[in-house]
Amino acid sequence: MHDAIIKEITPLTQSDCFTYFYRAKSDFDFPLHYHDEIELNFIRNARGARRIIGDHVEDIGDVELALVGPGLPHGWFGSGFAKNQVEEITIQFHKDFFDEKFLQKNQMNFIRSMLRRSLRGILFSSETTRRLEPRIVALGRKQGFDSVLELMSILHDLSISREYRVLSDSGFHGSELFSYNSRRIEKVMAFIHSSFDKQISLGEAARLANMTESAFSRFFKLRTGMTFIDCLTEVRLGHASRMLISTTKTIAEIAYSCGFNNISNFNRIFRKKKGCTPRELRESYSEGTRVFI
């Protein structure tokens, strides 16, 4: 998937908890990239620049705060801003910044869930961003243990915010792992991810969970926050996006190989969900990998 996308070797060493960068600039000139670290990226005064995170493409507003998980392609693109108009703060920390055993503790539940969602990219609302903006800016002036405590506190406040969007579709990031605290749901999700390219019915999924269709529908919506059909569609779109980016297959070939049996239906659903056509996503990625430092 990452053949044409740069893997960034960040300056974060094993001896550091995190790195903090502030930049004032007039354009975004770093190509589409990914890295092993988790990144919190704050941007202001860059309305109209374009963001790519995973398979999600969107123009940004006046302020922006995104959490990008390890291995997820991302980049911001735009030029022609006034000198030093755009301000960007990038905070990068290791995947094991929070020890795995520590993350399993009850008090870490919100942060644990947020870090899992970051594998698909999280965009926080402008209200949440404005509220935390002074602390994110001031973090650059803190040092030592105080700076680590403050970063943890900022991440905790973000984790309890309900004002966010998960950007990439399920299925786009191959290593994504979620716990639904239900063996039945996890069994069905494994089935969806392994059989998304085939025709799957609600009845099959219900039988797998050993439930009636109506009971399963209610149970699935309660545990996942979406209907079974919406979940299946999201997984299919995620895999389709990955193929659009990583292969030269035609859009029709990709649609059929991801379980869509009608190309116009695929285009319509794709555009409704992502705000762009499959061809536009492919072109955005192609342009993003051609930006040079």
The residue ranges of every structural domain in the chain are 6-166, 183-288
Mean pLDDT of successive 10-residue stretches along the chain, which has 293 residues: 70 91 91 92 94 89 95 90 95 92 91 92 96 96 95 96 88 58 82 88 92 93 88 89 86 93 91 88 77 39
Q: Do 6-166 and 183-288 share a fold? A: no
| 4: Cβ contacts below 8 Å, ≥ 6 apart | 285, 289
pLDDT at 1: 45
**Residue for token digits 């749901």?**
185
User: For residue 193, what pLDDT is reported?
Assistant: 85
Neighbours of 276 (CB within 10 A): 17
Q: For 180, which DSSP code?
A: -
Give the pLDDT of residue 222: 87
Model pLDDT, residue 186: 83
CATH class of 6-166: mainly beta
**Of residues 252, 259, 217, the one with CA closest to residue 237:** 259
- Longest Cα–Cα distance of the chain, Å, equals 62
Instruction: State the pLDDT at residue 247.
Output: 84
Which residues lie below 8 Å from residue 54, measured CB to CB, with a gap of 6+? 72, 73, 74, 120, 121, 167, 168, 169, 172, 173, 241
CATH of domain 183-288: 1.10.10.60
Does the predicted TM-score (pTM) go above 0.85?
no
Give the pLDDT score at 17: 93
pLDDT, one tens digit per residue, over 182-213 is: 788 888 888 888 888 898 999 999 999 999 99
Look up residue 72 and give its two tokens: 């997820």
